[in-house]
Structure formats: structure tokens, C-alpha cells
Amino acid sequence: MAGREKRKRAAALDGDEQRRQEEAATLLHRITGLVRWVVAEVAAGRSPSVALHRYQNYCASAAASPCACSYDVPVGTDVLSLLHRGSHASRLNVLLRVLLVVQQLLQQKKHCSKRDIYYMYPSIFQEQAVVDRAINDICVLFKCSRHNLNVVPVAKGLVMGWIRFLEGEKEVYCIMNVNAAFSIPVSIEAIKDVVSVADYILVVEKETGKRLPRYSDKKAYALSYTFLFYFSELIFQIFLRYLVEQLHLPVYCLVDADPYGFDILATYKFGSLQLAYDANFLRVPDIRWLGVFTSDFEDYCLPDCCLLHLSSEDRRKAEGILSRCYLHREAPQWRLELEAMLQKGVKFEIEALSACSISFLSEEYIPQKIKQGRHI
């Protein structure tokens, strides 16, 4: 029986690899065709133009106003022309330069980061954001995801706990040492043979997850990433979505009780506006907010010294999030929690729970909340 299961799994892996190779070959063929067409148009003295759809997965519409936001229907189109003057010509020029790099990556079956691409033509690109936009434009143009282009981000996340998988030829055996944290893979295509005996996935803001001790009776594993001011850790989202699809486990998220923690949580559930064209394939719609909540401060009798007052910037951030259409349509309870934070005018971080005891977070807060269903 075990041998039969192994053969089935191997056959499935072979099938996935063949599908990926076919998709890469098709994408390369389409890119080559577009590049040849642009060269031919310019050589003939014509102005080649490219139409790019615009996507919007959320907006700042009032609760009573219907909006046109969608995960898969474009809300408009930009037409970029190479020989016309203006920003669109520059945008198409950058797109084509980045596309040539992507073409070489696919032809040679190699990977590089968007930062590597920027340093190939720094005087032309001027700033990293220009390259980021070009990569997004290419994804929209060819209806693919960034990892399909062999453009990978620098690893910004950690995985630990009851899981093991292969990353290429490397074996990642978190399950042999659940207290050790491992960098998440930068290429999702390199992952295979994922096995876990966990009951759930726990996503933790910052590196708090590294300090969670082993759950001897609750088989769990945690994901953690290093928090940045702007949440842009695409590889972490891809990896999380991959695990959810492979393992079919419930997912809980633990973030700071402040507007920026909430924004991270919302990005997991609804996707980011910057990657709206790909949001439906990156988001985890069923993710559950485990904490920390503003109300936890009183519920767990935390000392006043753990509290911080919301700054004017915090308030602007929270008010901007509250205006997003999805909080009115799909997550009214989340909206109420954020409104309560604004009303009380305070915030605190996950680490504040350690004021109860060093092991309170892992031994009481997390397992009790999951067991009692105290999440939204």
C-alpha cells in the first residue's frame, strides 16, 4: 500500500513538472513573438502600441455606494506607444528592456531577483519602483504571475514546525527540529513532496514565531516574516497560498494591534492593490484573525506600560483602511475591531502578551483562542 502511494505521488510530481515546463515554453513563445513584432514595427517606421488592462481589487467607496472592484475583471485599459513622447513611451521602453531579461531567464532556465534586473540598467531605470511596475505590466500583458517569469524576490520569511519538503535537491526537515526556523524557498517551482502532521498553519508577524516553543500536544507550525514598513513580501504570500492548497489546513494570523498589523492581515485575505491583477491567486480568503485585538488588553489584564498612543500617522492609516470597500462587504467584524482601536486611540504589539509570562503566548493565548474559537 505504501509503495503504491509513493508511486502515485511521484507520478503527480512528474505531471506537475511537465505542466510547468509546458507553461514556461508557451510563455517564452509568446514573449518572443511580441519582441519580434515590436522590432518589425519599429523597422517599418511604425509606432508599436501595447494595451494593458488595469485591475482594482478594492477601492475607497463609501459603504452605501456600489463599486466596480473585481479580482478578475479589468476596470480600464492603458495604451502604451513606443514612438510617442511622454510617460507611456518611457513605460513601454522599460517594459521591453525588462522583457528581454525575462526572455533570457526563460531560455536559460535561470532565476534572478528584481533587484538584479534594476542594476543591469540603473541609469535608465532610475529607481527600483520603475522595474517593479514593468514586471507587473508584463504579468498583466501575458496573464501570468511573477514567479512564471523566473523573477524571484529575496527570501523574507521563515518556516518552522511540523512540516518537511524538498526544495530542489535540498531536504528541508523542519519536523526533525520544530524549534529551528528555516528560510522559505524563493522559487515555488522548486518545492515538492510536502508532508505535514500539523493541525493548522499559524502566520505570525515579525520574528515572534521563532520564539514559539514546541507544541508537544498540539502539533502546530508557524510561519514568520520580517516586518517591513510597506508590506511587499510577495514570496511569502506565494508560499502560504501554496501550503494552503497542498495541505488543506485552517490558517490563523497573529499580528500587532495597530493599523500596520491590520494592513498585513488584510493583504493576506484580500490581496494588495499593487498586485490586483494577481490578487485572486495570492490571497487566502479563509484566513482567520486570531489576534491580537485591542480588547485583549483588558481581557488579559495587561499592564498600562504596554500601551502606546496612536500617532497621527497611525490614525490616517487606519482611516484609509476603514474606507476600503471589502471591509464593508466581506469583513464587517474586522471593520468593527479597527474602529474600536481608533476610538480608544491606543495600540500594542504581540510581545506585550509576554508581560503575563514569557511562555503565555505559546502555552495559553494561541491554543486557548483556537480551541475556544475566539477568532474572526
Residue 145 above 90 pLDDT?
no
> Is the Cβ–Cβ distance between 202 and 366 less than 8 Å?
yes
Burial class (CB in 10 A: 0-12, 13-18, 19+), 313: exposed
Of all residues in the chain, the percent with pLDDT exceeding 70 is 83
Of all residues in the chain, the percent with pLDDT exceeding 90 is 25
Burial 155-185, CB ≥16 within 10 A → b, else e: bbbbbbbbbebbbeeeebebbeebeebbebb
Q: Tell me what pLDDT residue 314 has.
A: 94
Mean pLDDT score, 171-196: 80
Q: SS3 sequence, the chain?
A: CHHHHHHHHHHHHHHHHHHHHHHHHHHHHHHHHHHHHHHHHHHCCCCCEEEEEECCCCCCCCCCCCCCCCCCCCCEEEEEECCCCCHHHHHHHHHHHHHHHHHHHHHHCCCECHHHHHCCCHHHHCCHHHHHHHHHHHHHHHCCCHHHHCECCCCCEEEEECEEEEECCEEEEHHHCCCCCEECCCCHHHEEEEEECCCCEEEECCCHHHHCCCCCCCCCEEEEECCCCCCCCHHHHHHHHHHHHHHCCCEEEECCECHHHHHHHHHHHHCCCCCHHHHHHHCCCCCEEEECCCCHHHHCCCCHHHCEECCHHHHHHHHHHHCCHHHHHCCHHHHHHHHHHHHHCEEECHHHHHHCCCCHHHHHHHHHHHHHCCCC
Grid coordinates of 266 = 488584510
Mean pLDDT score, 70-92: 76
Count of CA atoms in the C-beta half-sphere (13 A) of 59 = 14
- pLDDT per residue as tens digits for the range 219-240: 444 454 322 222 346 778 888 8
The rounded Cα 376 to chain-centroid distance in angstroms is: 20
Q: The dihedral of CA 213, 247, 243, 276: what is its sign? A: negative
Q: The dihedral of CA 20, 23, 29, 32: what is its sign? A: negative
Least confident span in 58-62, 92-96, 203-207, 210-214: 210-214
Mean pLDDT score, 297-316: 88
Q: Tell me what pLDDT residue 187 has.
A: 79
Give me Rg for the CA atoms of the chain. Answer: 23
Q: Tell me what pLDDT residue 221 has.
A: 43
> Is the Cβ–Cβ distance between 300 and 374 less than 8 Å?
no
Active site residue 119: yes
Residue 317 above 90 pLDDT?
yes
Residue tagged active-site, from 58, 118, 119, 277: 119
Residue 268 above 80 pLDDT?
yes
Full set of structural domains in the chain with CATH: 12-149 (1.10.10), 162-372 (3.40.1360.10)
Distance CA 241, CA 24 (A): 21
Q: Tell me what pLDDT residue 155 has.
A: 60
User: What band does 313 get if pLDDT is binned at 50, 70 and 90?
Assistant: very high
Residue 281 above 70 pLDDT?
yes
How are beta strands 221-225 and 201-204 bridged, if at all? Answer: parallel
User: What band does 320 get if pLDDT is binned at 50, 70 and 90?
Assistant: very high
Mean pLDDT score, 112-128: 85
